[in-house]
Every structure is written in C-alpha cells, then in structure tokens.
Copies of this chain bind each other. A is one copy, B any other.
Amino acid sequence: MRIVSADTGGALLDENYNPIGLIATAAVLVEKPYRTAKMSIVKYSDPFNYDINGSRALRDEAFLALKLAKKVKPDVIHLDSTLGGIEVRKLDDPTIDALRISDRGKAVWHELSKDLQPLAKRFWEETGIEILAIGKESVAVRIAELYAGIYSVKWGIEYAMKEGFVRIGLPRYMTVGILESKILGKSLDPREGGLYGEVPIEQEDFEWQVYPNPIARTFMVFEARF
C-alpha cells in the first residue's frame, strides 16, 4: 500500500515554553514496511502570525497532501482527523452532523468541507484515489508528524543562524539529533514499532540540545545556538 499523508507540527516557544505558533506542514509518501517516508515535502508557516485554534492546519495538510499525491499517485491519502477513516468526499453536512464527535469538531468540518469535500470528490473521480479522515490510527499520519518536527528543526536552525538562538517544541514523544549533515528524528514510543525520518541540512557548526518540555510531559524541546 502506498500512502500519502500530511501533518502540521513543531512550535516556536517563548522563554516560558508556551507556543507562539506552528512552523511546518509536511506531506510524506509512505510505503511498506511503513517505518519512514520514501519522499517528503514541506510548507512553512510564519509562527509569529499563526492562529493555533483555527482549522488552518487541516486545510494546509489537505492541500499539501494533494500536491504530493498528484506527483506520486498513491493508493490512498490519509488526513490527520480521527473520523474512523471516513472518505472526505462523503462529508456533506448531514453526514458531519451524524458523526460521533464534539460540537466543535463538527463546526470545524462544516467549515472545512465547503471546499475540501468537492475537492476530494473531484480528485477521486479523476484518479480513483480516496482521501480518508483516519487520524491517529494511521502510521502514515504519525510519520508525517515526525517529518513536521524534523522540518521545524531545519527552519529553526536557519532562524538561529540569523537571530542567534531558537527554541522549538517538537511534536508529541519524538526526539531529534544532528548527525553528519542530517537531522534525524525518531518516535520515542516503542509501541509504534520504530518510526523515524531524516532530512539533510547544510549547517554543521552550532550548539544544540534536546530535553523534556517541563510544562508538557512527553514533549521534547530543541534548542540551537550560533
């Protein structure tokens, strides 16, 4: 099974470890044995101008996943919204109302589905590829989350080159390391079966550190200093 997925993550943190805004949306192509990405692309946000509470992340993810899918023609697209794996092309208003999710979740999907539902329908009609709202059940979504963290670190290193210092909150239970011109990221949850990712970088000569976020248990912080 060839899966394209996307997720958003990595947050610029202030000195009290509170998030300022999200940094990266990553889309990945995942193939058997489903432990890392065969290919990945990224779209950066401006963390200084980001509404964390909106539905922006999911919209960004859908569009970035479609961009990659048009290129690599996967069997299926997985979005990070845990609706039991329902096809997005079927998410009309009565279907959304019938979902067993929170009222807030319904409001977000009523808004999102206005353009995502026709988009998903057209894409399926043209290519036969389904877009599924599968969320946390998907290993591909988790690999996209790891890549969002890795790309956030890449962004952070470039930011720190200019500004001298950066502090980034990584996605849930993942860690990163810098080794031989690569950012290596891996899941800290062994129950996931060894998920990881890597992205090349050019900078090498800087100090960096990874440690637990003191006010967000199971989340790690990455710092770089030039």
Q: Give the B-binding residues of A (Cβ under 8 A).
A: 1, 3, 16-17, 30, 32-35, 85, 134, 136-140, 142, 172-173, 175, 188-195, 209, 211-218, 220
Q: Contacts A1-B16, A189-B191, A191-B173; is A136 near B215 (CB within 8 Å)?
A: no
Contact at A211–B34, with CB atoms within 8 Å? yes
Top 4 nearest A-B pairs (CB, nearest first) are A33-B211, A173-B191, A193-B212, A191-B218
Q: How far is the CB of A197 from chain B (nearest CB, A)?
A: 14
Contact at A215–B35, with CB atoms within 8 Å? no
The docked-state distance in angstroms from the alpha carbon of A214 to that of B213 is 29
Contact at B30–A1, with CB atoms within 8 Å? no
Q: How far is the CB of A24 from chain B (nearest CB, A)?
A: 21
Q: Which residue of B lies closest to A85 (CB)?
A: B215
Q: Of A17, A209, A217, which is in contact with the most chain B CB atoms at under 10 Å from its CB?
A: A217
Q: How far is the CB of A140 from chain B (nearest CB, A)?
A: 6
Q: How far is the CB of A107 from chain B (nearest CB, A)?
A: 19
The docked-state distance in angstroms from the alpha carbon of A173 to that of B172 is 18
The contact of A218 among B3, B35, B192, by CB within 8 Å, is B192
Give me 23 A-to-B residue pairs in the complex whose CB atoms sit less than 8 angstroms apart, sorted by A's number: A1-B17, A1-B214, A30-B214, A32-B214, A33-B212, A34-B211, A34-B213, A34-B214, A35-B211, A136-B217, A137-B215, A137-B216, A138-B217, A139-B217, A142-B217, A175-B193, A189-B190, A189-B191, A191-B218, A192-B212, A193-B211, A193-B220, A194-B212
